[in-house]
Structures are given as structure tokens and as C-alpha cells.
Chains A and B, each alone.
Chain A
Amino acid sequence: MIPELGTFALVLALCLACVQGTLPLVGAFRGNARWIGLARRAAVGQCVFVTLGFGALVHAFVGNDFSVSYVVANSNSHLPVHFRIAGVWGGHEGSVLLWIQMLALWTVAVAAFSRQLPAAVVARVLGVMGLVSIGFLCFLLFTSNPFDRTLPAAADGRDLNPLLQDLGMISHPPILYMGYVGFSVAFAFAIAALLEGRLDAAWARWTRPWTLLAWSFLTLGIFLGSSWAYYELGWGGWWFWDAVENASFMPWLVGTALIHSLSVTEKRDTFKNWTALLAILVFSLSLLGTFLVRSGVLTSVHAFASDPRRGLTILIFLGVVIGGALTLYAWRAPTVGLGGRFALFSRESLLMVNNVILAAAAGTVLLGTLYPLVLDAFELGKISVGPPYFEAVFVPLMVPLLLLAGVGPLVAWKQASVAGVLRRLRWIAAGALLFAAVALGVLKTSWMVALGLALAAWLLLGTAFELAKRLRRQPAGTTWRARLASPPLGYWGMILAHAGAAVFVLGVTLVKGLESASDHSLRVGDSATLGDYRFSFAELRRVDGANYIAARARFDVTRGDAPVATLYPEKRFYVVQQMPMTEAAIDRGLFRDLYVSLGEAGKDGAWVVRVQRKPFMGWVWAGVLLIALGGALAAADRRYRASARRMNRALATGAPAPLPSFVVPLVN
């Protein structure tokens, strides 16, 4: 009964989405206040019914309802309850429902936190989000309903894929989807602005906090996925440039470009067309990512072609959304003014270069991801594009980007003095070069490592220099506490994210340049050495888990005579899926991770064991977390709320309305 109610709730949600996606848009066009007012109520109603549907699916999983096919495919009665809940998004249907749930939550958030915006703008934004929701709800209900029954009911489920039975599965997909779907807000604001024909600084200001928040979630989501792969896949890799990862990385790159270009649009009222285009592109890439991961096209292009219902539907949807948005853009964008002027050497032009580089980087990832699929689809041969390609392309693109990130904040808006900036850069450049020289001379690292270290030092020093300059600018006698409180949160967000990028580059450089690994064949009592660490295979015993049995080894790690760590890697066997799994053991440290994984056992009791030392691995994670935190801080900036209050007051006192966008360049 509950699953049928779930379907019913989703059908009602679809009806409300249809209301939300049409009437408010028409109302905003015609100036009909009642239809405009429908937007909020329809959005809240839709969210309630989507949540009911989602709750019904959770209920089916928690209650082990094995008459629902999707539950049978992704759960088992022996599965612990938190993994049964995570099983909701363990497969295709549930993932799409999670997508819709996230969209509904973002929509309600926009409805709730945009009271200060003009009602017509909110109506357009919610209307566009309603249209997106219609597409996904139709896709779910007509091609992949998670509530489809299998009668007679199965005795038990086929279990969740053991690779997915991990805490990462509970947090990674929802957070990643929060990011993906969050870009729909930026998209909806851009479409709304294009519909109205008003792309201006106010639009950028409204969009910015949403975009920053979505981007933070996406960063965090990618971090969770990557760190999960690091310990769960068992062999110490953490980024493989495979299509699923690239699908989330492309929106991240374009999203990074977007948050930078939005700052230009808000502060200087320029780059408006470009910003709108980026907002459309970033959401298009989010949709493309969903398509790549969810259509089955990666498993086999031909399976996709022979069972085209799902894939084709989502492809058509993709075409309608992207094609429609770009058509609207092509029609409206030429009427938007150019906005504030700026000199050749100014923060605007540096940010433009930043945008070009990030867009080019996203383009290279797109090519490397889609090219093999296209070739395969047209039977032109089977190829794969692996990490060597992406590394060869990415490093040369990131070098200028990191150099720019160190300089950019020091350069003034509108017009900057080359000599002044060069004078400030002297010490930063000297520090970076010194750092690299020490690395080369003392640590005897390779040139590539020295380059990476120099870039990290450059960015870190540049950021620190900028912060010091800003804090010193207060009048003499200001207390430190007041100095620290003076810059807005948005500024702290930028500082934190740039510092995070520097920490990340440092970590990646050192772990890629200095990591070591070796494979050994060991029996209990044997030991292996790696550098100055000694790994002794001390013990092996059987452990019974909830739905698996495992061989658990104990490794005592020593350095010289000093004990360093005790590690317990496992080889598990999941009974229901008859599937073995390597569960690696990691000793994490500030300057290095030690990583042990068990391969397969031979007939003579010898195990293949891989031991690894990964220097500065933790810095990679710390860097990414700092970047995500920076985005979140910037999204929380008081300015976005304060400006709204100011505008309300302006409207209430009958102050002149903001100038239409086409007048602004004339006034400037």
C-alpha cells in the first residue's frame, strides 16, 4: 500500500510542478499578481509531495519490503539499517528520486529566502525550476519508477553492492547532488533574467550566494567521493580521471569560473553575458553528468542504444533544456549592455583570463570523456583515454591559473599600476623561488616537484601578503580583534579558498612526486620493508561481520626500533553477492599515510600484500576542505542579506528604482 501511495504522491508532485512551471511564468509576463503569487505555494506543495514519495521509498527499504523490485535489487534483510537507508540511492531509480528531492529542497529554500526580491523575479525563478522538475518527474514516473512491484514478492533482496556498503555511501551522493542540483538555482536566475531582459548587478548579487553554496556542496561532494575511493577501493588511488569523476569535475571547473565572473558582474556590472552563459553551461554540465552516470551509456554504448527508453528520454530532456536555454540566450544576450569599462591591466582582465583557462580546462576534460563514447557509438573503434592524457593537459593549464590566483587579489579593479603590482610581487616571487631551490638542493626532488612547490608557495605567500595588506589598512591603534573582524565574510572566503588551493597543490605535488609502494608475498611472521618503515605480518584471524566473513591481518609497523602503528587490513567475502572485497588499513599522519592492503591468498598460506607510503596525503584533503569552507563562508556574507534590506527600504520610501541595465554604461 505504501509504495502505491509513494507513486501517487509523486504524481501529485508532478501536477504541482506543472502549475509551478507555467502559471507564475505567464503571470510574470502579464503582470498578474495572483498567478505570480502561486509560485511559492506550488513550490512548497511540490516539495511536500516529493518528500512524501521519498519517505515512502525509505520506508520500503527500512521495512524490507521485497515486493518492490528496486528494494530487491539494492537491499537485503541482513544489511544494517543505515545501509538500507543509503540503499535508497544505491541504484538508478532512487538516485533520480534523490535528484528530484534535492531540487525540491533548493526550490523551497529559494522561495523562503527571497522574500526581499521582486515578486515577479521570484516567480520566474521558481517557474524555471518547476520546468526542470517536470522533466525529471516525468522521467522518473514514465521510465524508472522506484515503486514498481515484483509479484510474488521475493524472499530476500540481492543486497547492496559491497563496494557501496560504507559510510561514504551515506554522505557522498546526497552532498554531491546538493551541489549538482544547486546549480539549477543559478541557471533559473539566469533564465529568469534573460526572460525579463535584465542582466545587471542586482541579478548577480541575488545569484551569488546560491551559486557559492552549491559550489561548496559540490566541492565537498567530490571530496567525499575521492576520499572514499582512497580507502575503499583498496589500492591507494584517489583520483582516476574516469568518466564518473569527470562528470562531477566539469561542473566544478565551470562553477569555479562562474563564481569568479559573478563577482565581476556584481562589483563592476560587466561580463554580464558571459556570466549568464556560464550559469547555463554549469547546469548543462550537471545534467550531462547525470546523463553520463545514470543512462548506462558508460557501461556500454550499445546497451544504451539497444534499450534506449531511459537514455533517449534523458538525452531529449538534455537537448530541450540546453537547446532552449542557449536559444533564449542567443536571442536576448545581444541586447544587454557592455557595462563598466576596465583597463588592460586590471582585476577584471585577470579574472577574464582565469575564466578562459577554467573553461578551456573543462573543455579538455569534456573531450577526453566524450571522445571514446562518440567513437564507440559510431563503431569507429574502441579506445580509452586515461590519466596520462589528463595529466599532460592539466598541468600546463593549471600553472598559469595558480600564478594568476596569487596575483589577482593584489590587483586593483578597473585600472591597476603594473609597476606597483610588480613591486609587491618581488618578495612573493623570491620566497617561492627560494622554497623551490631548497626543495631541489636539499631534498633532491625532481623539477616537476620543485615547480609544484614553487606554485604552492607563490599562491600561499600572495594570499598571506594580500591579507596582511588588508588588515594593516585600518587606522593606527585598531585592536587586532577589530582588524580581523573588519573584512566581510566574502573576503575571508576568498582568502581561505585560495590558501586551500595552495595547500592542495602542495599535497598533490608531494604525494605524486614522493610516494612509494611495493608488493610482497608474505606469510604470518614475515615482514616487508618500505623506505625506513618495516611492516611485520603478525597475525591472521577470522572475523564475522553482519553480512560478510573476513580474514583480518595484523601488521605491526616499526621505524628503526620505535613502533609506529598497528594496522588491520581485511579481505572480506560478502555472502549474498558472493563477492570478495579488499578493506585496506591506513595509518594517517600529518606528514604521511601508511597504507596496507591484502591481495589474494595463495595455496601455501602466502598473501600478496601491498604496502605504501603516501607523503602529505592529508594535505590534499585539508586543501579541498578549506576550499569548500571558503565557498560556504562567502555564501554567508552579510552583504547579500543587508543589500536586500536596503533595497526594501528604498522601495518603501519611494526612492528611485535602480537604473535599467542599458543606462548604466552611459552613466558610468
Chain B
Amino acid sequence: MKARHKRFTLLAAGLGALALAAWLVLAAFQKNLVFFFTPTQVVRGEAPQQRSFRVGGMVETGSLARQADGITVSFMVTDTAQRLRVDYRGALPDLFKEGKGVVAQGKLTSERVFVADEVLAKHDENYMPPDAAYALEKAKASRGAPGQAGEPLK
């Protein structure tokens, strides 16, 4: 085989591999992107029904309840404008607290219950999960009433 042919074959193989990789990536991307919605958006019906997504805001004070099995918990996530019930089976993260920020990932089952398979709380005392802070900011901005979002954001 001539050197030119060889180089061409190698080049073609390389490009083929890259094309395959690109195709894999885009296909996986399409399927696995997780979008974020605020409780207001979910209540308005903007969130998908079948697909997994994230919702974030504050855990409403006094809303945390453990169900009869002792393992499943439910709590309300609020962006101060709207609220959404979240059910979760398992142990909550250490820094999960009422009145603090939270992000949950899961699916919407019926009209207003979100069944989470993952609950994320903030990492330390200094900041909220960025998505939770975003939800509160957005609700505040849409109402145009400053100073009602509870905890100061950072």
C-alpha cells in the first residue's frame, strides 16, 4: 500500500471514530440532559410529565413529615410564590433543613406530587445550591417585591 493511501486510510479511520464519538455524545446528550424548573413553572404546567427533571427552592418550614414506613419523607418546596410537594424514600443529606435551600431530581407523578430519587442540599453554611437560589430570585423578580425571599442569597 502506498504511503498516501495509508495516510488516507488512517485519516478516514480517525474521522470515522470522531464521527461515531460525536454521534454517541449527541444522542446521549439528547436523552440525558436534566432540565431545571422552579415550583412556579411546575405549577403552571411547564415541566414535562414523563421525563426526569430538577426542581429547587426552599424547604417550607413545618412541612417535613415522615410517613408511616419510617423511611419515606415528604416536604414542600417553595420559591415563595408557589409550592410543590416532594416525596423521597431514603435518608436525606446531612445539610437538609427546613427553611433552607434544596434541589430535588425526579419525576412528576400526578398533578402536584414530585417523586424524587435524589435530594441535594447545600454543601456548607456559606451558600445555597445555585439552582435553589436561582428559583427564589426568579420568583422574586416576577413579583417585583424585594425582600420577601427569606434568607439572603449568596
B124 contacts A235, CB within 8 Å?
no
**What sequence of 0s and 1s flags, for each residue 331-363 of chain A, a beta carbon within 8 Å of any chain B beta carbon?**
000000000010110000100110011001101
Q: Which of B45-60 contact A (CB under 8 A)?
A: 54
| Residues of A close to B13: CB separation below 8 A | 353
> What separation, in Å, do the CA atoms of A572 and B23 have in the docked complex?
47
| Residues of B close to A163: CB separation below 8 A | 123-124
CB distance from B100 to the nearest CB of A (A): 12
A143 located at the interface, meaning its Cβ lies under 8 Å from any Cβ of chain B in the complex: no
Residue of chain B at shortest CB distance from A344: B6
Given contacts A383-B33, A384-B36, A581-B94, contact A393 B28 (CB under 8 A): yes
Residue of chain B at shortest CB distance from A372: B33
**What sequence of 0s and 1s flags, for each residue 128-164 of chain A, a beta carbon within 8 Å of any chain B beta carbon?**
0000000000000000000000000000000001010
A623 located at the interface, meaning its Cβ lies under 8 Å from any Cβ of chain B in the complex: no
> What separation, in Å, do the CA atoms of A344 and B24 have in the docked complex?
26
Smallest CB-CB A-B distances: 10 pairs: A521-B70, A599-B91, A382-B36, A392-B28, A389-B32, A360-B21, A388-B32, A300-B130, A608-B91, A519-B90
Interface, chain B (partner A; CB < 8 A):
1, 3, 6, 9-10, 13-14, 17-18, 21, 24-25, 27-29, 31-36, 54, 66, 69-71, 89-92, 94-95, 105, 123-125, 127, 130-131, 133-134, 154
A577 contacts B130, CB within 8 Å?
no
| Residues of A close to B89: CB separation below 8 A | 519
| Residues of B close to A386: CB separation below 8 A | 32, 34, 105
> What separation, in Å, do the CA atoms of A274 and B130 have in the docked complex?
39
A599 contacts B92, CB within 8 Å?
yes
| Residues of A close to B32: CB separation below 8 A | 385-386, 388-389, 392
B34 contacts A385, CB within 8 Å?
yes
CB distance from B123 to the nearest CB of A (A): 8
CB distance from B153 to the nearest CB of A (A): 10
> What separation, in Å, do the CA atoms of A29 and B104 have in the docked complex?
59
> What separation, in Å, do the CA atoms of A235 and B92 have in the docked complex?
10
A360 contacts B28, CB within 8 Å?
no
A184 located at the interface, meaning its Cβ lies under 8 Å from any Cβ of chain B in the complex: no
| Residues of A close to B18: CB separation below 8 A | 356, 360
> What separation, in Å, do the CA atoms of A597 and B94 have in the docked complex?
12
A20 located at the interface, meaning its Cβ lies under 8 Å from any Cβ of chain B in the complex: no
Residue of chain A at shortest CB distance from B18: A360
| Residues of A close to B124: CB separation below 8 A | 161, 163, 577, 579
**What sequence of 0s and 1s flags, for each residue 554-591 of chain A, a beta carbon within 8 Å of any chain B beta carbon?**
00000000000000000000000111111000000000
B71 contacts A519, CB within 8 Å?
yes
Known: A344-B9, A381-B35, A598-B91. 17 other contacts (CB 8 A): A161-B123, A299-B130, A343-B1, A367-B25, A383-B35, A384-B33, A384-B34, A386-B32, A386-B105, A389-B29, A392-B31, A392-B32, A393-B24, A396-B24, A397-B21, A579-B125, A599-B91
Given contacts A389-B32, A392-B31, A396-B24, contact A521 B154 (CB under 8 A): no
CB distance from A359 to the nearest CB of B (A): 9
**What sequence of 0s and 1s flags, for each residue 376-404 of chain A, a beta carbon within 8 Å of any chain B beta carbon?**
00000111111011001100110000000
> What separation, in Å, do the CA atoms of A299 and B131 have in the docked complex?
10
A6 located at the interface, meaning its Cβ lies under 8 Å from any Cβ of chain B in the complex: no
> What separation, in Å, do the CA atoms of A349 and B11 have in the docked complex?
11
> 20 A-B Cβ contacts within 8 A?
A161-B123, A234-B94, A343-B1, A344-B1, A363-B21, A371-B29, A381-B36, A383-B34, A384-B54, A385-B33, A388-B31, A389-B32, A519-B71, A519-B89, A578-B125, A579-B94, A580-B94, A582-B91, A599-B91, A600-B91
> What separation, in Å, do the CA atoms of A117 and B79 have in the docked complex?
64
Residue of chain B at shortest CB distance from A606: B70
Q: How large is the interface on A (under 10, 10 to 19, 20 to 34, 35 or more residues)?
A: 35 or more
CB distance from B142 to the nearest CB of A (A): 15
A520 located at the interface, meaning its Cβ lies under 8 Å from any Cβ of chain B in the complex: yes
Which residue of A303, A341, A393 has the most chain B CB atoms within 10 A of its CB atom?
Answer: A393
> What separation, in Å, do the CA atoms of A610 and B91 have in the docked complex?
7
| Residues of A close to B35: CB separation below 8 A | 381-383
CB distance from B26 to the nearest CB of A (A): 9
| Residues of B close to A602: CB separation below 8 A | 66, 70
CB distance from B2 to the nearest CB of A (A): 11
A227 located at the interface, meaning its Cβ lies under 8 Å from any Cβ of chain B in the complex: no
Residue of chain B at shortest CB distance from A384: B34
**What sequence of 0s and 1s flags, for each residue 596-618 of chain A, a beta carbon within 8 Å of any chain B beta carbon?**
01111010001011100000000
Given contacts A299-B130, A344-B1, A599-B91, contact A520 B31 (CB under 8 A): no
**What sequence of 0s and 1s flags, for each residue 285-322 of chain A, a beta carbon within 8 Å of any chain B beta carbon?**
00000000000000111010000000000000000000
A364 contacts B71, CB within 8 Å?
no
Given contacts A234-B94, A392-B32, A610-B91, contact A356 B17 (CB under 8 A): yes
B21 contacts A364, CB within 8 Å?
yes
> What separation, in Å, do the CA atoms of A385 and B30 have in the docked complex?
10
| Residues of A close to B127: CB separation below 8 A | 299-300
Which residue of A234, A356, A396 has the most chain B CB atoms within 10 A of its CB atom?
Answer: A356
A303 contacts B71, CB within 8 Å?
no
CB distance from B126 to the nearest CB of A (A): 9
B134 contacts A382, CB within 8 Å?
yes
CB distance from A535 to the nearest CB of B (A): 15
Given contacts A392-B28, A579-B124, contact A519 B10 (CB under 8 A): no
| Residues of B close to A382: CB separation below 8 A | 35-36, 131, 134
> What separation, in Å, do the CA atoms of A383 and B134 have in the docked complex?
12
CB distance from A166 to the nearest CB of B (A): 14
> What separation, in Å, do the CA atoms of A582 and B121 have in the docked complex?
14
Residue of chain B at shortest CB distance from A342: B6
Q: Which of A301, A381, A383, A520 touches B71 (beta carbons < 8 Å)? A: A520
Residue of chain A at shortest CB distance from B133: A300
B24 contacts A392, CB within 8 Å?
yes
> What separation, in Å, do the CA atoms of A300 and B137 have in the docked complex?
13
CB distance from A483 to the nearest CB of B (A): 37
> What separation, in Å, do the CA atoms of A363 and B89 have in the docked complex?
36
> What separation, in Å, do the CA atoms of A33 and B69 have in the docked complex?
80
| Residues of A close to B91: CB separation below 8 A | 235, 519, 582, 597-600, 608-610
CB distance from B9 to the nearest CB of A (A): 6
